[in-house]
């Protein structure tokens, strides 16, 4: 169970291959007027990647950008969504290209170059740009997945990922701001830590959390079917599960904090606002709430509720479920002017 869980987790982390597309009929077709645009950029979170019924990642129309667009469209029916993200992009490929399925989408250019061209072609008509990039800088940093001792962390790979965050995010931010101009609102985001779910590895802890995840992802009907699932000790709670991979969790948390601080600094330098998804997911809060029904720390509970990491039917998968997409969309929407 433990080895299978870790292997599936890493497979989900690297299988982000969904690409973007438009948000449906264009606004000028709908209203017969010149549209304004919402341009969404980034990785698999941007294009709503979630696991299908067989656990294979697939692009959906339920990403946070889709939820955000639907909310914004309710207030402005002339708004069109240019959905330009591509699953698997990291900071390097975002600038330079190099992922075959993304290069095909952008006609041989990079996502950043495609965004610059779109902003130039639609100068004065882009009201909002959102950006999610950087998480995939670390998807190749786990190895030895079949080892009985669990995975190995390639710290050199992690350091390289952080260095590219430090050097390439300023380039991305600067070029986007130059292309968009000073008056276009750009909102980027920090990341949550899906690897907190490793705290549930031991003795079927992930199975205990599945009922919680099913309720968030599928609604009350599914929750009623799974809600009586018991943990390995028969309690149905995760408080007796010791940390299966404490080193992974502690290290991932420290890397997340360093990464997100670098993102905030680089974006602020270009007057790019930041949707604090790290805070939305309580990512650094290891306290167990007094009213907790599961005994999980707040950050682990959030990962189980808002992603597929604790779902053993379709996951574990690092992507947000529909509830998570809605939470991220709300975090962005709070900043939209």
Six-digit token string for 68: 């955000």
Structure tokens given for 287: 């306290």
State the pLDDT at residue 149.
62
Regions of the chain with pLDDT less than 50: 1-19, 22-24, 27-28, 30-31, 145-146, 202-204, 206-207, 209-246
Reported as a single tens digit per residue, the pLDDT across 143-186 is 654 455 655 778 999 999 999 999 999 999 999 999 999 999 99
Tokens of 276: 């604090």
Alpha-carbon span 141 to 162, nearest angstrom: 12
Angle at 259 between CA 258 and CA 264, to 5 degrees: 100
Residue 154 in tokens = 């390639």
d(CA 296, CA 314) in angstroms, rounded, equals 21
Handedness of CA 1, 257, 88, 69 (dihedral sign): positive
Residue 150: per-residue pLDDT:
54
Helix, strand, or coil (residue 36):
strand
Distances 290 to 294, 295, 297 between C-alpha atoms, Å: 10, 9, 10
Task: Give, for 96, the enclosing helix (H) or strand (E).
Answer: helix 91-96
At residue 11, the pLDDT reads 46
- Burial (CB count <10 Å: 0-12, 13-18, 19+), residue 67: buried
* Helices marked H in 275-315: 277-280, 298-306
Number of neighbouring beta carbons within 10 Å of residue 24:
16
Domains, the chain, ranges and CATH?
15-193+246-287+319-333 (3.40.50.1110)
pLDDT value at position 131?
98
Say what the pLDDT of residue 199 is: 77
DSSP state of 274: E
Per-residue pLDDT reduced to its tens digit, 33-87: 788 999 999 999 999 999 999 999 999 999 999 999 999 999 999 999 999 999 9
Beta bridge partners of 79: 36
The pLDDT of residue 296? 94
- Which pLDDT value is given to residue 229? 38
**Contact in structure between 134 and 125 (CB atoms under 8 Å):** no
Give 306's contacts (C-beta < 8 A, 6+ positions apart).
192, 216, 281, 320, 321, 323, 324, 327
> What residue has token string 């989900």?
12
Query: Which among 64, 154, 137 is positioned nearest to 95, based on CA atoms?
Result: 137
d(CA 223, CA 251): 33
Name 150's bridge partners. Answer: none
The answer to whether the CB of 28 falls within 8 A of the CB of 119 is no
H/E element, 131: strand 126-132
């Amino acid at each position: 169970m433990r080895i299978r869980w870790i292997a599936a987790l890493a497979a989900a982390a690297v299988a982000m291959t969904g690409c973007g597309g438009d948000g449906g009929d264009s606004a000028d077709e709908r209203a017969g007027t010149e549209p304004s645009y919402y341009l969404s950029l980034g990785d698999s979170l941007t294009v709503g990647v979630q696991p299908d019924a067989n656990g294979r990642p697939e692009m959906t129309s339920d990403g946070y950008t889709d939820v955000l667009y639907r909310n914004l469209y309710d207030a402005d029916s002339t708004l069109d969504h240019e959905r330009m993200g591509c699953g698997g992009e990291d900071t390097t490929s975002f600038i330079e290209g190099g992922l075959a399925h993304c290069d095909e989408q952008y006609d041989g250019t990079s996502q950043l170059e495609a965004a610059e061209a779109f902003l130039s072609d639609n100068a004065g008509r882009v009201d909002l740009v959102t950006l999610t990039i950087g998480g995939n800088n670390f998807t190749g940093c786990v190895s030895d997945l079949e080892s009985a001792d669990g995975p190995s962390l390639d710290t050199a790979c992690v350091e390289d990922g952080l260095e590219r965050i430090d050097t390439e995010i300023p380039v991305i931010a600067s070029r986007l701001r130059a292309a968009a101009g000073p008056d276009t609102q750009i909102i980027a985001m920090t990341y949550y830590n899906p690897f907190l779910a490793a705290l549930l590895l031991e003795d079927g802890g992930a199975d205990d959390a599945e009922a919680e995840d099913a309720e968030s992802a599928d609604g009350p009907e599914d929750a009623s079917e799974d809600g009586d699932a018991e943990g390995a000790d028969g309690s149905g709670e995760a408080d007796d599960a010791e940390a299966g991979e404490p080193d992974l969790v502690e290290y991932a948390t420290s890397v997340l904090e360093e990464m997100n601080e670098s993102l905030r600094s680089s974006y602020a330098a270009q007057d790019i606002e930041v949707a604090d998804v790290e805070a939305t997911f309580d990512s650094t809060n290891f306290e167990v709430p007094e009213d907790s029904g599961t005994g999980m720390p707040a950050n682990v509970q959030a990962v189980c509720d808002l992603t597929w990491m604790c779902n053993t039917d379709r996951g574990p998968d690092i992507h947000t479920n529909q509830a998570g997409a809605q939470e991220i969309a709300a975090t962005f929407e709070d900043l939209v002017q």
